Structure 1
Amino acid sequence: MSSDHRTLVLAALGGALEFYDFVIYVFFATVIGQLFFPQTIPDWLRQVQTFGIFAAGYIARPLGGVIMAHFGDLVGRKRMFMLSVLLMALPTLLMGLLPTYDVVGLIAPVLLLVCRVLQGAAVGGEVPGAWVFVSEHVPRRYVGYACGMLTAGLTAGILLGSLIASAVTHRYGHDEIMAFAWRIPFLLGGLFGLLAAFMRRWLQETPVFVEMQKSKTLASEVPLKAVLRDHGGAVLVSMALTWTLTAAIVVVILMTPTLLQKRFHLDPAVTLQANSIATFCLTVGCVVFGSIAGRFGAARTIFVGCVLLAVSYYLMFTHVAADPSSLDLYYGVTGFFVGTVAAIPVAMVKAFPPTVRFSGISFSYNIAYAVFGGLTPVAVALMLKSNGDAPQLYVAVLCALGALVGFTLRSARESNA
């Protein structure tokens, strides 16, 4: 069991650093916009271009995920697991070294875009690859705990990005950040990512893949072809669950600080502090709900967790409207219930047979996340024009979807376990 714990720790650490690298961009989006685009263009256009490059990372996720999953099902999980963190670390390091628009002109945003696309491709392979890797290393009864630990590592990366960004903004003034300090988080992320890639050398190939090699039961055709032909139901259900996951992460964790600032006129420092508390509670919740899913089943865990998330998110807005000082408490509780998302990979891992597991999860997760992850902020913003409770309603609807869809994975899980 000690080797399993070492595998979980190394996988979670690498995942944390990789997610840190992926999200640190958004914390410095304003600075990046001013440095990598002409000062003569309108501010709104600069913002659109800056976040357009951020969105390019999401667009690249499916392509990177499908390619790495293809080789992960044919040549090994470990090789792709090492490649994904290396593919994230190098462009992150380069982003910290890039020349700005004042130095090289239009080449600057082009280089930034290339780095962002490479980051997206890396994350596309890392997340499903990590879920498959850890779940195939541990005994069946610990699959939920393993997925929970791994997902906790990914969310810890978001928290780490928030804390590093806060430290930089508190330590340096605006002029210093514009001059050089914005580079520090990218350089740190790149260096730590390279360290994580080096540490993953000590990981062993999964016993499940080794057994498939020995018994010569690896996929005899393109794995994705088999997934689409034979496992369409599992793909659709996994995509629906991923949609629920995006609502929980994108709306509750990433968008809510801004939503609270606009609706209740709260100070950004107050909402960001509460967000850090919520993200920490999310990390804990991932381990708890992942473990519960392994013991009592992913379907039941998703159902109960989604109900609790929808209720807690609604109560948070209701109580903050009456007493803003209650934000930390209610956001923390809500963040904990967002940890329900750790049960989703447990369900997806057991929905696909080992021969095409990596490809099935990667295709379903990345396509759904690229579509719904990109459209969710737009959908919520449009809904807000006509209904001030749009965020709570959106989360509630998607929680209801996740709760209902989770049960349809039972038959697939039983046949592929």
Structure 2
Amino acid sequence: YGAAAALVLGPQYFPNFSPVAGVLAAFGTFAAGFVARPIGGLLFGHFGDRLGRKRTLIASLLLMGVGTLLVAVLPTYEQIGVAAPLVLVLLRIVQGLGVGGEWGGAVLMAIEHAPRGRRAFYSSFPQMGIPSGIILSNVVFLAVGAVTTSDQFGAWGWRIPFLFSALLVVTALIIRLKLEESPEFADTRERGAVRRLPAVDVLRTSSRSVVLGMGVSFAPSAIGYLFSVYLLSYGTREVGLPQQTLLLLITLASVCYLAFAYVSGRIADRVGPRRVFLGSMALSLVAPFGCFLLFETATVSGALTSLVILGVLLGFMVGVQAIIVSGAFETSLRYTGASLSYQLGAVLGGGLTPLLATAIFAATGSTQFVAGYIAALVIVSAICVYLLPTSPRGDELAEPSPGAVATGAS
């Protein structure tokens, strides 16, 4: 959706706006999906901590899949008028609700099945889905763009990647139906330690961890959407790089992102996820300033170098993000707590970044101010990860202190 928002949704759904205003409006619909994510995190987190990870994961997948598929067949402004952008926002909210429950469940199924001492590595695999998704979507966009004219791509070609997502949803559904329930949740259920109202309990007993986990997620989300969405829009509109070239460069850099997410998980089990994350934060404090300068050379080599640098840094921080955030919550609250933390961070750090970056550049005429905004979020994330009460090595997940009484399910 981010790629489509950067490239075509403005003219299709906001044709009466100026080019910049149209992009801002398209990025606004992008942000609308993020606003729904924390609600989805609370909703699906509640059921994930009450009924189990597996069933909740299936429900969130179906909701997300339906929302994405309906975007593919949504008429444009020219066809149904003002109803088109309104329905687009509604579908983004549906997607956001599904995604809000998706991340926490996928991450916990990996972590709670992992052997001791390998949890950081196992947790990196769901995180690899982020660059994998960028690669797949961009490859489809590239393929469609290669066989259609600019007018054809704008009229109907952009819909093909959304239709293609139905295949991925069916594949994921088959896999999830065959999964076993998380052993840690099964043990919690056996002990009668399932909470009646996990959404209430997590805010009552673990609000500090929720806030700090949210802050940890600021930098990965902001840099992630700068990398995959904003630079695609900025590069085509302001720098003058061809759309197909930029899609290809982001795809190549995403391979580095994917590879270093894997490396990050491997290293974190040895030295601790917090150290890996803080190291990536130190580099990310200065990298955006240089990356924008490289990108603005308007050369393929400059753009690729800047994107690869961002991709490598993203890999290191995203590879350990899941174990850091989820490790702060006990099993009976983990789905709700981890989902809410991550999704709040995604809203404030990621969902608003393309919108704010576009507005900052429009107001100042310089991307160095955009880099300053990213650097501020990096500082916040570094402070939050330092303060978050999680295992330094990532191999111990939070559990209730002795004497703590959980509220039974019955």
TM-score bracket relative to the smaller structure: 0.7 to 0.9
State the 1:319 CA deviation. Answer: 5.0
Instruction: Provide the residue aligned with 2:93 in structure 1.
Output: 117
> Does the aligned pair in 2 maintain the 1:302–1:402 contact within 8 Å?
no
Match among 155, 159, 172 for residue 135 of structure 2:
159
Stretches of structure 1 lacking an aligned partner (at least 5 in a row): 1-21
* Bigger mean CA offset, 95-104 vs 126-135: 95-104
State the 1:270 CA deviation. Answer: 4.2
Instruction: Provide the residue aligned with 1:307 in structure 2.
Output: 282
> Does the aligned pair in 2 maintain the 1:144–1:295 contact within 8 Å?
no
Q: Sort the Cα spacing of 1:373 and 1:310 in 2 relative to 1 into closer, same or farther, 3 A.
A: same
Q: Sort the Cα spacing of 1:70 and 1:144 in 2 relative to 1 into closer, same or farther, 3 A.
A: same
State the 1:277 CA deviation. Answer: 2.0
Q: How does 1:5-404 map to 2 (within 5 A)?
A: 22-23=1-2, 25-26=4-5, 30=8, 32-36=9-13, 46-219=22-195, 221-259=196-234, 265-319=240-294, 324=299, 325-339=301-315, 340-381=317-358, 383-384=360-361, 385=364, 388-404=367-383
* Bigger mean CA offset, 183-192 vs 318-327: 318-327
Instruction: Provide the residue aligned with 2:405 in structure 1.
Output: none
> Does the aligned pair in 2 maintain the 1:25–1:54 contact within 8 Å?
no
> Does the aligned pair in 1 maintain the 2:261–2:318 contact within 8 Å?
yes
C-alpha distance in 1, partners of 2:168/2:371? 37
Q: Sort the Cα spacing of 1:43 and 1:319 in 2 relative to 1 into closer, same or farther, 3 A.
A: closer
State the 1:213 CA deviation. Answer: 1.2
Q: Deviations over 1:47-106 (max 9, x none)?
A: 454433332211211111210000000001001111111112122222223344444444
State the 1:352 CA deviation. Answer: 0.5
Q: What SS class does the counterpart of residue 117 from structure 2 fall into?
A: helix
* Bigger mean CA offset, 286-295 vs 310-319: 310-319
> Does the aligned pair in 2 maintain the 1:251–1:391 contact within 8 Å?
no
Q: Sort the Cα spacing of 1:101 and 1:256 in 2 relative to 1 into closer, same or farther, 3 A.
A: closer
> Does the aligned pair in 2 maintain the 1:294–1:346 contact within 8 Å?
no
* Bigger mean CA offset, 157-166 vs 90-99: 90-99
Q: Deviations over 1:306-351 (max 9, x none)?
A: 2233344444345556794343234313311211222121111110
Q: Sort the Cα spacing of 1:55 and 1:138 in 2 relative to 1 into closer, same or farther, 3 A.
A: same
* Bigger mean CA offset, 257-266 vs 341-350: 257-266
Q: Deviations over 1:229-276 (max 9, x none)?
A: 211221121011011222221224432344456775544444433322
Q: Sort the Cα spacing of 1:251 and 1:75 in 2 relative to 1 into closer, same or farther, 3 A.
A: same
Q: Sort the Cα spacing of 1:246 and 1:357 in 2 relative to 1 into closer, same or farther, 3 A.
A: same
Counterpart of 1:292, as a letter, is: I
Q: What SS class does the counterpart of residue 392 from structure 1 fall into?
A: helix
What TM-score do you get using the length of structure 1 for normalisation? 0.84
> Does the aligned pair in 2 maintain the 1:77–1:205 contact within 8 Å?
yes
Counterpart of 2:137, as a letter, is: G
Say yes or no: does 1:416 pair with 2:389. no
C-alpha distance in 2, partners of 1:175/1:386? 30
What TM-score do you get using the length of structure 2 for normalisation? 0.85
Q: Sort the Cα spacing of 1:329 and 1:177 in 2 relative to 1 into closer, same or farther, 3 A.
A: closer
Of Structure 1 and Structure 2, the greater helix share is in: 1
C-alpha distance in 2, partners of 1:330/1:35? 30
State the 1:167 CA deviation. Answer: 1.4
Counterpart of 2:371, as a letter, is: Q
Question: RMSD between aligned alpha carbons?
Answer: 2.8
Q: Sort the Cα spacing of 1:151 and 1:41 in 2 relative to 1 into closer, same or farther, 3 A.
A: closer
Q: What SS class does the counterpart of residue 141 from structure 1 fall into?
A: coil
Q: Sort the Cα spacing of 1:410 and 1:190 in 2 relative to 1 into closer, same or farther, 3 A.
A: same
C-alpha distance in 2, partners of 1:299/1:320? 30
Q: Sort the Cα spacing of 1:123 and 1:98 in 2 relative to 1 into closer, same or farther, 3 A.
A: same
C-alpha distance in 1, partners of 2:349/2:202? 21
* Bigger mean CA offset, 41-50 vs 87-96: 41-50
Q: Sort the Cα spacing of 1:203 and 1:256 in 2 relative to 1 into closer, same or farther, 3 A.
A: same
> Does the aligned pair in 1 maintain the 2:142–2:244 contact within 8 Å?
no
Identity of counterpart residues, as a percentage? 29
State the 1:415 CA deviation. Answer: 7.4
Counterpart of 2:226, as a letter, is: V
> Does the aligned pair in 2 maintain the 1:98–1:108 contact within 8 Å?
yes
Counterpart of 1:111, as a letter, is: V
C-alpha distance in 2, partners of 1:320/1:378? 19
Q: Sort the Cα spacing of 1:344 and 1:207 in 2 relative to 1 into closer, same or farther, 3 A.
A: same
Q: Sort the Cα spacing of 1:41 and 1:271 in 2 relative to 1 into closer, same or farther, 3 A.
A: closer
Q: What SS class does the counterpart of residue 138 from structure 1 fall into?
A: coil
C-alpha distance in 2, partners of 1:406/1:317? 26
How many equivalent pairs are there? 392
